[in-house]
Amino acid sequence: VTMGSALVILPTYNESENIISVVRGVLDSGGNFEALVVDDDSPDGTAAAVRGRFGAEARVHMVVRTGPRGRGLAGAEGFKWALERGYEFVFEMDADGSHDPAVLPELLDALGRADVAVASRLAPGGGERGRGLFRRLVTLAANSYLRIVLGLKVRDCTSGFRGFRRVALEAVPWEKVGAAGPAIVQEVLYAVASRGFSIEEVPFVFVERAEGRSKLNFRILFLGLIEAFWIRGRMAPFDSRAGHP
C-alpha cells in the first residue's frame, strides 16, 4: 500500500458470472485501483473463480466470510480491512454489472473536491437503464423518503457505488453500525453526512444486471426503510442520551 492508494470493495454473493469482468474493469479503469472481493462463501464458486483468474494479481485481494452473511456485514468488513491497511481512497460498488468501473476515475476526481463521492442515478445526467417505470419509481420513492427521515441532501442515498476519503471513514463509529443487509448504504451515508463531511454526486447510468440473481426483494427494501429510524438513533454524531454534541 502506497500513499494515495485506492481500494475498491466488491461485496459478492453468487456473482461467479459477473465478478471476473467487474474486477477486470476495476484493474483496467486507469488510476491504479486495487480490488477487494468480500465474498460470503458463495455456493456458486465466486471465490474460486476469483482465485483462479486473479490469484497471481497483486492488486486483487479477497476476504471469504463464513458465518452470518449479508451485504451490510460484508461491506463493514471491507471498510475495516481498508482502514487497517492505510488506503487513502476507498470505494464500494456492486459486482453484478450494474455499476460501470469506468466511472471510478470520475469518483476519484470528485474526491479531490469532496470527502465523499456518490455515483448518482438521480443527479441530472444520471439514470437507470434496462428498468421499467415501476422499478425506477421505487428508487425515487425510497430516496425521497430517506432524504426526509435522515435529513440528507444527497439525491441518491441508496446508491452503493461511491468513494470515501479516509478521514470520512475514520469518523464512522463502526462498532455501532447495525445494518446486516443493504440498508448499510444509507447507514454509512448518514454517518458521514451528519458529521459534516462534504458529499458530491457524480451522475451515472445504472444498468440492470444481465446475469445472476438480485438479492433484493420488497421485504428487504421495506425493512430497510423502517430501519432508517434506528439508523438515526445509533449513528447520530453525538450521544443522544447526553443531549449535547
Ligand X SMILES: Nc1nc2c(ncn2[C@@H]2O[C@H](COP(=O)(O)OP(=O)(O)OP(=O)(O)O)[C@@H](O)[C@H]2O)c(=O)[nH]1
Compute the least distance from the CB of residue 101 to ligand X, in Å. Answer: 13
Report d(CA 167, CA 245) in Å as an integer. Answer: 19
Binding segment for ligand X among 79-87, 91-99, 109-117, 141-149 (CB under 6 A)? 91-99
Binding segment for ligand X among 34-42, 82-90, 110-118, 144-152 (CB under 6 A)? 34-42
For position 120 contacting ligand X by CB under 6 A, the verdict is: no
Among 8, 13, 126, 197, binds ligand X (CB under 6 A): 13
Residue number, 46 or 98, with CB nearest to Mg ion: 98
Residues with Cβ within 8 Å of 206's Cβ and at least 6 positions away in sequence, in order, are 98, 99, 121, 126, 127, 128, 129, 131, 159, 161
- Retrieve residue 185's grid coordinates: 448504504
- Cα–Cα distance list, 140 to 79, 156, 158 (Å): 27, 8, 10
For position 158 contacting Mg ion by CB under 5 A, the verdict is: no
Residue number, 82 or 95, with CB nearest to ligand X: 95
For position 25 contacting ligand X by CB under 6 A, the verdict is: no
Residue number, 29 or 98, with CB nearest to Mg ion: 98
- Retrieve residue 16's grid coordinates: 461467479
Residues β-bridged to residue 116: 164, 199
Indicate which of Mg ion, ligand X, none lies near residue 71 (CB less than 5 to 8 Å, by partner kind): ligand X
- The answer to whether 36 and 9 are in contact (CB under 8 A) is yes
Residue number, 86 or 211, with CB nearest to ligand X: 211
- Retrieve residue 41's grid coordinates: 462463501
Binding segment for ligand X among 50-58, 169-177, 186-194, 210-218 (CB under 6 A)? 210-218
- The answer to whether 185 and 159 are in contact (CB under 8 A) is yes
Q: Closest residue (Cβ) to Mg ion?
A: 96
Q: Closest residue (Cβ) to ligand X?
A: 214
